[in-house]
Amino acid sequence: MGVSIAEEGTKIVRRHEHDSRVRPDTFGGGGARLEDHLRCEPLPLFKGISWGSVGIVNETELDAEVPWWWTNEEGYSGHVGRVLYGEFVGMGGSMPPDPLEFRTHPLFAPGPGGSGVIRNPIPARHFVASAAPEIMTAWHAAYDAVYADFLAEIDVALAL
């Protein structure tokens, strides 16, 4: 049960992350992909065996591989007012920061080319928090099915 719910949970949390994006996809052009490190895992509780418990995302892995992940989950305003020097790249070329092009370019390359002031915080996307209830619902449904099978087997054993 833990393995199947972890697989389903991984799909759920990745869907919530994808659906909450505010910029175009970089297709890996910006470095490690957040979605590649969003995984649910069965939790081993006794002698390496999972009895159905599932961890919803591994924060140790996220912190190591995409240390900025939490800014997207929780939001972050610490860069508001900071001046950036460089250009937005992709989308058919490069261009200096332009407030009229808000969140239309997926990648920023620091360096010469232009400057701009960060005026907006990173919005909280809550993809982990919003996925958790859906994953818990799937877990409870699987648990209820396993428990019903268990009770049916006890009834059979008692009838013998």
CA-CA distances (angstroms) from residue 62 to 35, 47, 67, 68, 93? Answer: 10, 26, 6, 8, 31
Q: How far is CA 60 from the centre of its chain?
A: 13
Q: Tens digits of per-residue pLDDT, 62-81?
A: 999 999 999 999 999 999 99
DSSP annotation of 123? P
Q: How far apart are CA 86 and CA 120, in angstroms?
A: 18
User: Average pLDDT for residues 8-34, to the nearest whole number?
Assistant: 90
Q: How far apart are CA 130 and CA 9, in angstroms?
A: 12
Amino acid identity for residue 143 in this structure: Y
Q: How far apart are CA 57 and CA 39, in angstroms?
A: 5
> Which burial class, exposed, middle or buried, applies to 99 when counting CB atoms under 10 A from its CB (0-12, 13-18, 19+)?
exposed
- In total, the chain counts a number of residues equal to 160
Give the least confident one: 73-87, 96-110, 114-128.
96-110
pLDDT value, residue 68:
94
HSE (side-chain half, CA atoms, 13 Å) at 75: 9
Q: How far apart are CA 127 and CA 76, in angstroms?
A: 15
Please, what is the end-to-end C-alpha distance for the chain in angstroms? 28
Per-residue pLDDT band at 106 (split at 50, 70, 90): confident
